[in-house]
C-alpha cells in the first residue's frame, strides 16, 4: 500500500517538477515570477485537445502543444515583461502585468472552448492496459507521462549544463552586465529562456490533462500555488531544487492519503514546507534568495 502510494507520488511529483522547472528557470534568469505560467499550462492542454480532436496522434499533439506554449512564452515576454525590463521597472510590476496576460489567456480559452470539461477519450486512453509489477499497479499512460516528464527534465539539465545556449542562460541569470560585456545578446537569451520554460510548462499541462483525462479552464489553479511552493522549497531559481521539490510534494500528498489524512493533505504539505524553510530559509538548493538581502 505504501509502495503503491509512493509510486503514485513519483508519478504525480514528476509532473509537478516539470511545471516547476519552467517557473523557476524564468525566476533564475530574470528574478521575476511569471504568474502566466499556469495559464500557458492550461492553454497547452487545450491545444493538445484540439489537435487530438483533429486526428493528430497524442505524442505528436504533445510535442506540437509544447512548441505552441513555447511561442506563447516568447510573446508573453514581449508583451508583459520586455517593455518593463527596458524601463528598469523592478520585480513587482511584472508580477501584475503577467497576471494581466494570464487573465487574457483564460478569457480567450473560455471564448473558444466554453466552460465545459473536455476529455481526450478519442485518444484511446480509456482502454489503456494496466501493468502489474509485484504489489504495484499502474497504467501505461501513467508510465508514459512519468517517463516523458523525466526525459524532458534530463534534456533541460543537459542543455543548461553542457551547451552554449545553457551557458548563456546561466550567465544572464548571474550577472546581466557581465553577460552583455561578454557578447551575449540579452533579449535573444531571455526569449530562449521563455521558450524553454513555457514549452516545459505546456508539456506539464498536456501530461496533467492526460493523467486525469480532463481539461478544464481552471486546471492551472491548484498547480500554480503548488508550483510556487515547490520552487520556494527547492530554492528560488534552482532547477535541481524544483525537481526535488516537486517529488517531495508528490510524495507528501500521496502519503497523507495512506495515513488516512487526505482532508489534511494541504495542511501537512505546507507544514512540511514550513519546517524545511525554518531549517533552510533559502530553500533546499537556494543561495540566490539571500543575494537581495
Partner 1 sequence: MALLEVDGLKAGYGRIEILHGISLRVEPHMLCAIVGANGAGKTTLLLTLSRLLPVRDGRILFDGREITRTASHTVVRAGLLHVPEGRRMLAEMTVQENLLVAAAARKGGSAPADLDAIYARFPILGERRALPAGSLSGGEQQMLAIARALIMQPKMLLLDEPSMGLSPKLVEQIFAIIAEERARGTTILLVEQNARKALAIADYAYVLERGTIAVEGKGGDLLDREEITAAYLGESSATGPASP
Residues that bind partner 1 (CB under 8 A): 164, 167-168, 170-171, 174-175, 177-186, 287
Distance of closest approach, residue 293 Cβ to partner 1, in angstroms = 17
SS3 87: coil
Q: Which is nearer to partner 1, 165 or 258 (CB)?
A: 165
| Helix orientation angle between 93-113 and 58-76, rounded to the nearest 10 degrees | 140
Distance of closest approach, residue 175 Cβ to partner 1, in angstroms = 6
Distance of closest approach, residue 204 Cβ to partner 1, in angstroms = 27
Q: Which is nearer to partner 1, 175 or 218 (CB)?
A: 175
CA angle in degrees (0–180, nearest 5) for 112-207-9: 135
Distance of closest approach, residue 179 Cβ to partner 1, in angstroms = 8
Q: Which is nearer to partner 1, 125 or 166 (CB)?
A: 166
Q: Which is nearer to partner 1, 39 or 179 (CB)?
A: 179
CA 156 to chain centroid, in Å, comes to 13
The total of other beta-carbon atoms located within 10 Å of residue 115's CB is 9
User: In this structure, what are the phi and psi dihedrals at residue 35, rounded to the nearest 5 degrees?
Assistant: -80, 5
Q: Which is nearer to partner 1, 170 or 211 (CB)?
A: 170
Distance of closest approach, residue 96 Cβ to partner 1, in angstroms = 23
Which of 24, 37, 38, 31 minimizes the C-alpha distance to 93?
Answer: 31
DSSP string computed for 112-148: HH-SS-B--GGGSGGGPPEEEETTEEEEHHHHHHHHH
Q: Which long-range contacts (CB under 8 A, 24 or more apart) does 96-103 make?
A: 98/32, 98/33, 98/34, 98/35, 98/36, 99/35, 99/36, 101/36, 101/39, 101/76, 102/35, 102/36, 102/38, 102/39
Q: Which is nearer to partner 1, 126 or 187 (CB)?
A: 187
Cα–Cα distance measured from residue 249 to residue 46, given in angstroms and rounded to the nearest whole number:
25
Distance of closest approach, residue 193 Cβ to partner 1, in angstroms = 15
| Surface-to-core class of residue 278, CB atoms within 10 Å of its CB (0-12 exposed, 13-18 middle, 19+ buried) | exposed
Q: Which is nearer to partner 1, 151 or 182 (CB)?
A: 182
Distance of closest approach, residue 287 Cβ to partner 1, in angstroms = 8
Q: Which is nearer to partner 1, 127 or 164 (CB)?
A: 164
Distance of closest approach, residue 227 Cβ to partner 1, in angstroms = 24
Amino acid at each position: 500500500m505504501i509502495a503503491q502510494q509512493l509510486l503514485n507520488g513519483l508519478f504525480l511529483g514528476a509532473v509537478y517538477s516539470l511545471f516547476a522547472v519552467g517557473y523557476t528557470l524564468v525566476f533564475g534568469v530574470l528574478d521575476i515570477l511569471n504568474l502566466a505560467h499556469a495559464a500557458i499550462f492550461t492553454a497547452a492542454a487545450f491545444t493538445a485537445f484540439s489537435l487530438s480532436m483533429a486526428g493528430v496522434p497524442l505524442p505528436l499533439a504533445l510535442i506540437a502543444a509544447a512548441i505552441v506554449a513555447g511561442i506563447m512564452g516568447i510573446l508573453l515576454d514581449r508583451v508583459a515583461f520586455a517593455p518593463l525590463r527596458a524601463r528598469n521597472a523592478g520585480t513587482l510590476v511584472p508580477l501584475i502585468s503577467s497576471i494581466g496576460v494570464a487573465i487574457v489567456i483564460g478569457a480567450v480559452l473560455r471564448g473558444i472552448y466554453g466552460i465545459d470539461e473536455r476529455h481526450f477519450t478519442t485518444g484511446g486512453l480509456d482502454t489503456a492496459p494496466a501493468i502489474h509489477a509485484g504489489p504495484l499497479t499502474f497504467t501505461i499512460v501513467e508510465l508514459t507521462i512519468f517517463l516523458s516528464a523525466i526525459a524532458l527534465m534530463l534534456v533541460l539539465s543537459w542543455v543548461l549544463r553542457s551547451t552554449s545556449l545553457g551557458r548563456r542562460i546561466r550567465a544572464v541569470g548571474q550577472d546581466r552586465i557581465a553577460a552583455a560585456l561578454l557578447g551575449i545578446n540579452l533579449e535573444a537569451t531571455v526569449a530562449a529562456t521563455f521558450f524553454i520554460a513555457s514549452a516545459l510548462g505546456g508539456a506539464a499541462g498536456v501530461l496533467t490533462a492526460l493523467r486525469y483525462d480532463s481539461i478544464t479552464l481552471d486546471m492551472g489553479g491548484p498547480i500554480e500555488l503548488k508550483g510556487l511552493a515547490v520552487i520556494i522549497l527547492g530554492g528560488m531559481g534552482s532547477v535541481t531544487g524544483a525537481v526535488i521539490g516537486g517529488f517531495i510534494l508528490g510524495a507528501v500528498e500521496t502519503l497523507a492519503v495512506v495515513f488516512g489524512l487526505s482532508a489534511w493533505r494541504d495542511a501537512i504539505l505546507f507544514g512540511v514546507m514550513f519546517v524545511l524553510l525554518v531549517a533552510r530559509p533559502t530553500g533546499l538548493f537556494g543561495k540566490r534568495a539571500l543575494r537581495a538581502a
